[in-house]
Amino acid sequence: MPGDLDLRRLRGRLKGCLIGFQTLFYASVPSTMDVARRKAEEGAPEGTVVLADQQTRGRGRFRRRWVSPPGTNLYLSIILRPTVDELRLLNMATSLAVVRAIRSTAGLAATIKWPNDVRLRELKVGGILIDSALSNGQMRWTIVGVGINVNLDPAEHPEIASIATSLAKEAGHPVSRMEVLAAFLEELNVLYETLRSREALAKEWKSFLDTLGKTIQVRIGKRIERGVAQDVDEAGNLVLVRSDGSIATLAAGEVTLQS
């Protein structure tokens, strides 16, 4: 295990917590999502974290490749079993936990691009991927995948150099992966326990959104919506005002800014 990722110290920080007290570490996996999905099907307890130093086939939303070199970033997937109603708020809780952790450990003003990209200076520094399995209307499991660029040098990866950054690049010095990981899991434990406090969660999450007030394009599958991002509701849905004044309420999609 890399010296900067100490599971014994992590367990000490998370004693009594649901999420992260059981953490499974792998030097390299194709994808932590795939490992976590298999563990969930095998009955791994809720709160189990699959953590890897490297992913060889890491992926983000829309199955895009997630650059995952060893020794630099955080790649983890968390097994949870929320209710269907709680699942709707999990995206907000997770992205908010990432923002809180970055702000407390690196002192950087992280924001959220709807629905769940975490950014610094409008450059992507973290991403979230959520996958669930239901059976007869009941939640069997939910996997929350999280990637945070901690000490990555984007210049070494031309495919993301213009759109991504890292905590180290923005802070001007290396940042402890261990501290960011522990802070994130601590924050997520608190937020997961209070998912039913929908109004307070949505209010804080909204305060970090950098999408509101901007003219955007949202791609939902083959459909494209354009307009001004006016607001988000308590479930995290985006309220978009089209040019003709009509309103669209969107649950998810890929956002790009329009000039």
Residues 120-150: tens digit of each pLDDT: 999 999 999 999 998 887 889 999 999 999 9
Model pLDDT, residue 137: 78
Class of domain 7-207: alpha beta
Model pLDDT, residue 256: 84
Q: Of 80, 98, 85, 93, nearest to 18 (Cα)?
A: 80
Q: How many angstroms separate the Cα of 230 from the Cα of each of 24, 204, 223?
A: 41, 17, 20
Domain with CATH 3.30.930.10 in the chain: 7-207
d(CA 213, CA 216) in angstroms, rounded, equals 9
Model pLDDT, residue 63: 62
CATH of 215-257, one of 3.40.1440.10, 1.20.1080.10, 2.30.30.100, 3.40.630.30: 2.30.30.100
Model pLDDT, residue 150: 98
Model pLDDT, residue 135: 85
Domain with CATH 2.30.30.100 in the chain: 215-257
Model pLDDT, residue 3: 74
Model pLDDT, residue 257: 77
Which H/E stretch holds residue 196? none
Model pLDDT, residue 61: 59
Non-local (6+) Cβ contacts of 213 within 8 A are 228, 229, 230
d(CA 142, CA 174) in angstroms, rounded, equals 32
Model pLDDT, residue 253: 79
Model pLDDT, residue 131: 95
Non-local (6+) Cβ contacts of 224 within 8 A are 217, 218
Model pLDDT, residue 60: 62
Model pLDDT, residue 255: 87
d(CA 130, CA 236) in angstroms, rounded, equals 14
Residues in the chain predicted with pLDDT less than 50, given as ranges, are none
Model pLDDT, residue 1: 66
- Residue listed under structure tokens 């039913």: 196
Model pLDDT, residue 88: 84
203 backbone dihedrals φ, ψ, rounded to 5° = -65, -45
- Residue listed under structure tokens 């005002």: 241
Number of H helices, E strands in the chain: 6, 12
pTM, entire model: 0.93
